[in-house]
Structure 1
Amino acid sequence: MALRIEQRQHISNLIRLSEGHDIGLGTYREVIHRSWQRCVGEYQLDPGCPRPVRVLTQQALRDHQEPIDELLHVARAGVDQLYGQIAQLGYVLLLTDPRGITVDFRGQHDQALRQAGLYLGADWNERYAGTCAVGTCLHDGQAITCHHAEHFDATHISLTCTAAPITDPQGQMMAVLDISALQSPRSQDSQTFALALVNLYSRMIEDAYFLHRYRNCLILRFDTTRELVHFNGRGLIAMEEDGRIIAANGNGRALIEKHLLRWPSWSDDSSLKATQLFDAEIGDLLSILTSHEDQIRAFRVRANEITCFVTLVEPRGRHLASHEQKESPDPVPALDRLASDDPMMRRVIKLSRRLRNEDVSVLITGETGTGKEVLARALHDSGKRANGPFVAVNCAAIPESLIESELFGYLPGAFTGGQRKGMRGLIQQAHGGTLFLDEIGDMPLSLQTRLLRVLAEREVMPLGADTPVKVDIRVITATHRDMSELIRSGHFREDLYYRLNGAQLKLPALRERVDRQYVIRGVYDALLKERDQGIHLRADAMSALLTYDWPGNIRQLKNALSFALATAEGEEITLHDLPEECQCNRLPVTLSTRASTSTTPYASTMGQPKAQADGRDLLELLQRSAWNVSHVARQLGVSRPTIYRRMRRHGLVPPNQRQMT
């Protein structure tokens, strides 16, 4: 009786809407409001005359199944798996073609479901059935839940339906995945899990179809998380061996659109290359499977400088000759050991290889503690001056009253208090080798003129001398300061800056590097070697070190590990042996959400309240990990109770714990 009263009220409201009256649609979502307007205006559906369920004959159904037979074959495993998760909750599953005809179905074959249209062959096109999840999803091209009275047809208002589109590799609608139930809680929030599940499985089916369709092509699989790229890499790009892009899945197309501002119309002569998207050469992409043990490489995205982890799926039945025959560059140990697979460091090392045997002056920039002197020494050790001296001078550490005599030297009796026999300056001591001037931005202005003369004339005038001394040096400088600002403020000579900046190498901060684990392990092993110790670094300590933001960079990392080694009481370093700041300060977790209105994996959370963005980030991680809290805790480097506290804070409840009746 209550349902019939509600149906009559629903019909009355829609009749008033068709007559142009205001029925208080502010209580309904805009997407539902627009669909109702289409139903009464464009489709001329009569809300007072509910339409009977339309189910196609067997022959007509086969006519709809045949064009997407390949998709039905590929989707079968995903459809069965999803239904296995929802069957106990009273849901059925529908897979429709692009016209809204149910071409595959999972559920009980009973009369109530058939009468509601939850059946094989049922027509859920919006033009016939009115506002519903399948039909409105087909029209808008985005995932949607249509809950109870949001349906246009009064006979459907007891239903809850959630649908998501499945698109082909060119972005065209190919099918719709829907789960529906005859009975559900009144609150639409009860269907949040349904929307997440349908979104997840529609993407899985899309990707399975993509991999099947382009199984004879090279496929780049990428993600912003290294650990999941092999198994759940969200971006897929099919390409030829010359790098020309053939097709891409939804996340791949989103990446291309960021680069081109549009999705191109593909043709045989399309010239778009994968190297235009990633900061890489074609050889870098083709050699992914042999370049690293885990067969993953990190590349920067040219359009937005995000780091993506990329793996390569080879064509079935054959191996690429390209990357097997590709000659690796000659090893340069001094440079190669500075990094593993960080794109920014790879760029620095690549340029350093070219500069190592040149006498061009190099300026190294980067935050304090990023390893500027280590890079300078590696340049020296790997070049033609390796057998000469490497003289390092910290311009900020030498008192201003002594820096001139330290750099240029002096003759006997040049000034009171000097050595009786005089002293060769540091510049002269670097003859035949490399002079490294650290913190060059702190050099007094008065000495900058003299240094400029040294660089221009390649000679030095010691204090008290009448004749200059020729010097053969290569100059490498470093600073953490903004040299442009120093020049504008008059604290650094512009002409000297251009003498020093023959080439610039910019070191990334440790928190920006994707090879942090390699750096941590390298520093730790070096400390163990110095101490002749064999203490194990436990996983919880490593997780904390990976997620700390390291304002002091590698120098601070070395101090933290030294502290842990000095204070640890057992045979291993644990989380609690680290300095206190390393136990609580974490890098922000930057994840992407697959919102129903966008397929991009790089959707920004800027502009959202922080708590809302954090909640969505956590929900995304939980969904991608199949609600495995332990796995998520390991990814974030926190304990399981911490994850449970965050879940309670954001109201996140696993699907198997939700009350569905």
Structure 2
Amino acid sequence: MIGPGQKALICEEIAASWARCEGQHRLARDAARPILRLQASEIAPRLERITERTGGRQGFFRHLASVTSDGKRCLVVTDAEGVLVRLETAGMGAEDWNGIALGSCWDERVAGTNGVSMALRAGRAVTVGGADHFYARLKPFACTGAPILDAKGALVGSVSLVTFDRGNAAEHQFARQFLETAAERIQRRLFEQQFAESMLITLSSGAGGQPLSGGGLIAVDAAGIILGATSAVERMMAGQASGPLKGQPFQAVFDMESEALARVPERVLSMPMARGATMTVSARLPEEASPRAHAARPLAAPRRRLPPSLRDLATGCKIMAARCAEAGMLFRVGTPFLVEGETGTGKSALLAALTGAAPVLKVDCASMGSTPEDQDVLRPILSQARVLSLLSDTSEGAVTVLLDNLSEMPSEAQAELRRFLDELEAERSEGAPRLRVVGLSRQPLLDAVAEGRFRDDLYYLLAGARISLPPLRAREQPEVLAQVLATKLAGRRIDLSAEAAALIRAHPFPGNLRELRTALERALMTAAGDCLTPVDLRPTSIARDAALTAAPAAQVPWLSYDEATMIRDALTSSRWNVSEAARRLGVSRATINRKIKLHGLTRPS
């Protein structure tokens, strides 16, 4: 939502515009026909110029019109001088929109204070509604305009949404976000064409409450000098860069080498920004760049955690396989659903597998306070989700709103989510879903309903279906999952000894998959061989808890783990490095040598 500072700035700009209209332009507020219209012969060359400068196609504008021209609003495209060159009104004539027609001029000197002229002058999305218009005949309307820039940041024109003004601040906010994102996509496409032979670096901002912020591009030459940047980058770097970015060394501005990014294209790095925000950076090389161009500097491929597949999540458990299949079916049809399960059972991993590379907007309900201001946190995120769903290409997949820790959402935010789901339900009945909502909860959400902490009407709207993930201790073969996970973590095949597998089966895993992953990562740090043994698991919670358990030896493998096997496993894990084996068992080298002779252990050939 717009902050107090922004509201004050907009009020000042509108007041200044009114002063110009009265003092400089000599306009009369009650003019009968205030809007000047150009002839058809004058419109055609203007339309041709703006079409050429925005990529030579009007397909994107047609797409915008298809999702906004519903009879309640019209889409307006103007050139840099404010002349309307494209209009979509969904069957409504110019008389219905009081002068908004092809060829109408919305320059401030002619049309007074209006959304188009304010956006062109301010260089950002602006809404002018109701009585903020200078001309009285425009008072029934609200006009939101956003400037369109080319690859070099030069003004091309504007794209605007006009609707009858109902004083709905949320509707105005949605229009601004929609048009800003659309304009940024136009510039991004032009930028990619302009700098196709340069390395393109993507920047996205992780500012709190602004999930759509970012997505800007920087073009860098072979010497690491910035050739240009989109307006999104300039906005993100406001106050952090000294002067224009163009011409500056990339390293001087971002404190990282562009060449390092080029060695590992598509690698995502994070860097801190002011006020606790973060910025992610990744590079994309020119398409014609040969991989051999970087062969002189071989670099090991980075170990990245890719979104796991549903098959990986279901390893060793038929129940989990059935849950994953059910979640996949619900996700495809777009039904809102709820995923419940203890901490670490794989709720987030399941959603990562379902969404893949499609856009995901995550809301952590546990971080929200119990104040009316929480609506102001949730509302723009939900509004931005709708923007992305409307603008998403088919190849990107549907947008997903992920509500984490849903049972902890405060009541004020629940009311806002209730309204949003009502709107989504109506939209989903009209065609294929472009926006999905999924909730995650560590405790059964129905318990929160019974305790009065969660609205029952919201529960039944959101929980069209409920997926309950089993804890690790309830899986049939947790050791199979552990072996697969260890192999992925190590980058080579890893096996488990019979004793290690028994330890994993016996462990209750209160931290579930997260605890298992942590334990395996710790064990692999010191394991030199390709088979994990109880000695390797000794520093982890798996072995420590087993050693402290007072259950019968037959149920706790660690207690029946004989000395000879323990010594042999320690030597095997350390590749028969006696000093390392002694250190890992916490005994002296002399003791290890004595035990080797006592048990007749020999080093394998």
Deviations 1:242-288 (A, max 9, x none): 22111111222234444324325x4xxx2x22233444333321123
- Equivalent-residue separation in structure 2 for 1:60 and 1:212 (angstroms): 29
Deviations 1:519-542 (A, max 9, x none): xxxxx99xxxxxxx9569979x99
The answer as to whether partners of 2:214 and 2:233 remain within 8 angstroms in 1 is: no
| Matched ranges for 1:206-217 at <5 A | 206-217=187-198
The answer as to whether partners of 2:204 and 2:280 remain within 8 angstroms in 1 is: yes
- Equivalent-residue separation in structure 1 for 2:316 and 2:362 (angstroms): 40
Q: Partner of 1:288 in structure 2?
A: 264
| Matched ranges for 1:582-601 at <5 A | none
- Equivalent-residue separation in structure 2 for 1:626 and 1:538 (angstroms): 34
Q: 634, 642, 649: which is aligned to 2:416?
A: 649
Confirm or deny that 1:309 pairs with 2:280: yes
Q: 241, 251, 256: which is aligned to 1:275?
A: 251
Deviations 1:193-246 (A, max 9, x none): 323322221222222222222223221123247xxxxx9971211111222111
TM-score of the superposed pair, with normalisation by structure 2 = 0.51
**Offset of residue 129 of structure 1:** 0.5
Q: Partner of 1:602 in structure 2?
A: none
| Matched ranges for 1:115-264 at <5 A | 116-181=98-163, 183=164, 185=166, 187=168, 189-224=170-205, 234-264=215-245
Query: Partner letter of residue 150 of structure 2?
Result: D
Q: Partner of 1:624 in structure 2?
A: 388
The answer as to whether partners of 1:222 and 1:311 remain within 8 angstroms in 2 is: yes
The answer as to whether partners of 2:125 and 2:146 remain within 8 angstroms in 1 is: yes
Query: Partner letter of residue 105 of structure 1?
Result: L
| Matched ranges for 1:323-342 at <5 A | 323-328=294-299, 340=303
3-state secondary structure, aligned to 1:37: helix
Q: 343, 365, 379: which is aligned to 1:578?
A: 343
The answer as to whether partners of 1:279 and 1:300 remain within 8 angstroms in 2 is: no
**Kindly tell me: are residues 192 and 313 of structure 1, through their superposed partners in 2, closer, same or farther at Cα, counting changes over 3 Å?**
same
- Equivalent-residue separation in structure 1 for 2:55 and 2:40 (angstroms): 19
- Equivalent-residue separation in structure 1 for 2:113 and 2:74 (angstroms): 19
**Kindly tell me: are residues 210 and 44 of structure 1, through their superposed partners in 2, closer, same or farther at Cα, counting changes over 3 Å?**
same
The answer as to whether partners of 1:133 and 1:163 remain within 8 angstroms in 2 is: yes
Identity between Structure 1 and Structure 2 (%): 20
Deviations 1:387-417 (A, max 9, x none): xxxxxxxxxxxxxxxxxxxxxxxxxxxxxxx
- Equivalent-residue separation in structure 1 for 2:398 and 2:51 (angstroms): 39
**Offset of residue 30 of structure 1:** 4.1
Q: 52, 63, 69: which is aligned to 1:81?
A: 63
**Kindly tell me: are residues 61 and 622 of structure 1, through their superposed partners in 2, closer, same or farther at Cα, counting changes over 3 Å?**
closer
- Equivalent-residue separation in structure 2 for 1:517 and 1:115 (angstroms): 49
Q: Partner of 1:228 in structure 2?
A: none
| Matched ranges for 1:502-513 at <5 A | none
| Matched ranges for 1:430-469 at <5 A | none
**Kindly tell me: are residues 114 and 300 of structure 1, through their superposed partners in 2, closer, same or farther at Cα, counting changes over 3 Å?**
same
- Equivalent-residue separation in structure 2 for 1:85 and 1:640 (angstroms): 34
| Matched ranges for 1:371-450 at <5 A | none
- Equivalent-residue separation in structure 2 for 1:128 and 1:249 (angstroms): 31
CA-atom RMSD in angstroms: 4.9
**Kindly tell me: are residues 299 and 166 of structure 1, through their superposed partners in 2, closer, same or farther at Cα, counting changes over 3 Å?**
same
3-state secondary structure, aligned to 1:653: helix
Confirm or deny that 1:612 pairs with 2:379: no
**Offset of residue 123 of structure 1:** 0.6
Aligned length: 375
- Equivalent-residue separation in structure 1 for 2:53 and 2:410 (angstroms): 38
**Offset of residue 190 of structure 1:** 4.2
**Kindly tell me: are residues 254 and 146 of structure 1, through their superposed partners in 2, closer, same or farther at Cα, counting changes over 3 Å?**
closer
3-state secondary structure, aligned to 1:276: helix
Q: 297, 300, 303: which is aligned to 2:271?
A: 300
- Equivalent-residue separation in structure 2 for 1:34 and 1:592 (angstroms): 40
3-state secondary structure, aligned to 1:123: coil
- Equivalent-residue separation in structure 2 for 1:87 and 1:592 (angstroms): 29
**Offset of residue 132 of structure 1:** 1.0
- Equivalent-residue separation in structure 1 for 2:34 and 2:224 (angstroms): 53
Deviations 1:598-633 (A, max 9, x none): xxxxxxxxxx95653454345445543559999544
The answer as to whether partners of 1:138 and 1:165 remain within 8 angstroms in 2 is: yes
Query: Partner letter of residue 239 of structure 1?
Result: V
Deviations 1:97-147 (A, max 9, x none): 111112233335765348733222221111110011101212222212222
Unaligned 5+ segments in structure 1 are: 1-25, 226-230, 290-294, 342-514, 519-523, 526-532, 543-573, 584-589, 594-607
- Equivalent-residue separation in structure 1 for 2:317 and 2:383 (angstroms): 37
**Offset of residue 326 of structure 1:** 2.8
3-state secondary structure, aligned to 1:177: strand
**Kindly tell me: are residues 282 and 193 of structure 1, through their superposed partners in 2, closer, same or farther at Cα, counting changes over 3 Å?**
closer
Confirm or deny that 1:60 pairs with 2:42: yes
Structure of higher CA gyration radius: 1
Deviations 1:341-365 (A, max 9, x none): 6xxxxxxxxxxxxxxxxxxxxxxxx
**Offset of residue 591 of structure 1:** 8.8
3-state secondary structure, aligned to 2:219: strand
The answer as to whether partners of 1:78 and 1:204 remain within 8 angstroms in 2 is: no
Deviations 1:403-440 (A, max 9, x none): xxxxxxxxxxxxxxxxxxxxxxxxxxxxxxxxxxxxxx
Query: Partner letter of residue 311 of structure 1?
Result: S
**Kindly tell me: are residues 98 and 145 of structure 1, through their superposed partners in 2, closer, same or farther at Cα, counting changes over 3 Å?**
same
Q: 41, 58, 70: which is aligned to 2:23?
A: 41
Query: Partner letter of residue 143 of structure 2?
Result: C
**Kindly tell me: are residues 658 and 219 of structure 1, through their superposed partners in 2, closer, same or farther at Cα, counting changes over 3 Å?**
same
**Offset of residue 153 of structure 1:** 1.5
**Offset of residue 187 of structure 1:** 4.5
**Offset of residue 306 of structure 1:** 5.3
- Equivalent-residue separation in structure 2 for 1:104 and 1:326 (angstroms): 52
Query: Partner letter of residue 312 of structure 1?
Result: A
The answer as to whether partners of 2:71 and 2:92 remain within 8 angstroms in 1 is: no
Query: Partner letter of residue 376 of structure 2?
Result: Q
- Equivalent-residue separation in structure 1 for 2:182 and 2:262 (angstroms): 30
| Matched ranges for 1:470-481 at <5 A | none
**Offset of residue 318 of structure 1:** 4.4
- Equivalent-residue separation in structure 2 for 1:579 and 1:49 (angstroms): 67
